[in-house]
Amino acid sequence: MARIKTIGLMTSGGDAPGMNAAIRAVTRAGIYNGFNIMGIYRGFDGLINDEMKPFTTENVSGIIMSGGTILKTARSKEFMTPEGRQKAYDNMQKHEIDALVVIGGNGSLTGAMQFAQEFDVCCIGLPGTIDNDLYGTDSTIGYDTTMNTIMECVDRIRDTAQSHERIFFVEVMGRDAGFLAQNSAIACGAEAAIIPEESTDSDQLARFMERGIRKSKKSCIVIVSESPKCGALYYADRVKKEFPNFDVRVSILGHLQRGGRPTAHDRILASRTGVGAIEAIMQGQRNIMIGVRNNEVVYVPLCEAIRSDKPFDKKLIKVLDELSI
């Protein structure tokens, strides 16, 4: 196998706080160990459209504290086609890029895995997603910052909920994973969390209404995982119909959750996994995600990382139930 000399670096999919810290880590660790780093703009679209330039340590100075991504990001429809992937590979060859480091979530790492299989290129993934839904790592880059953002927002909403004696349904991101909703509910002292992992078990709204709100509390906060069918608006409408005596409001936090200065935890996670990506390439590793599990850097095969069944700790539900009486 030919020695890797040039590493292409991109961010892909939804942005997450800490991505810039990861870009900085990969760039500086790469240069320190003798590699050339090629910054690729706008994810896989940039690889297809030849939007890239060599990166130096100066390119990543003063970015560790910034949210978003200096490399920009996109969800590439063209990369989903064989023609798009061929264009991307041709541009890799043109710039003599020998390996790719892709910072992104489930969709981005799925694309990286497919690309690696089709063209036999070295792809290393970093877990950059606020959803925390990648298997094999305790936390993903951006998750901790987002949870703190949600906590700050809900703390403010609670002031209004208590002043007006209202039920507030607060919708948070997370797609098919309830990690953000459940843990932020515990952190905020919310009365309930409605999450996808519980959706088949019971009517979560009915259980919550029966358990607490009508007995002792006139105001409360319910954190709801976003869902096209059963988001915060759906549950608020149900309460208005089934319990018309309650004053109900909805707050959808939306993209507010994605931005902001990354926490120390996310900066450290991004830095450790970024350095880990370069170490993995030097060891000859291919087609893996760099994670941190039990405070140790680990290599997770991409096919495992993108599995949708990251274990959800059901004990967290019990914790919230007991503390929200």
Q: Which of the residues are catalytic?
A: 131
DSSP-assigned beta bridge partners for residue 101: 9, 124
The residue to which tokens 């976003």 are assigned: 226
Spatial contact of 296 and 289, defined as CB atoms under 8 Å apart: no
Q: Find all residues with CB under 8 Å of 221, minimum gap 6, and list them.
A: 154, 157, 158, 161, 168, 170, 185, 188, 189, 190, 191
Which region, left, alpha or beta, applies to residue 202 given φ > 0 means left and ψ of -120 to 50 means alpha?
Answer: beta
Using DSSP, state whether 129 is helix, strand or coil: coil
Spatial contact of 263 and 65, defined as CB atoms under 8 Å apart: no
| Phi, psi for 104 (deg, rounded to 5) | 180, -170
Sheet holding 167-172, edge to edge: 192-194, 220-225, 167-172, 248-252
Sheet holding 52-55, edge to edge: 52-55, 36-40, 6-11, 99-104, 122-127, 288-293, 296-301
- Spatial separation of the C-alpha atoms in residues 123 and 109, rounded to whole Å: 9
- Spatial separation of the C-alpha atoms in residues 23 and 303, rounded to whole Å: 23
- Spatial separation of the C-alpha atoms in residues 173 and 167, rounded to whole Å: 20
- Spatial separation of the C-alpha atoms in residues 89 and 149, rounded to whole Å: 38
Spatial contact of 67 and 262, defined as CB atoms under 8 Å apart: yes
| Phi, psi for 291 (deg, rounded to 5) | -125, 175
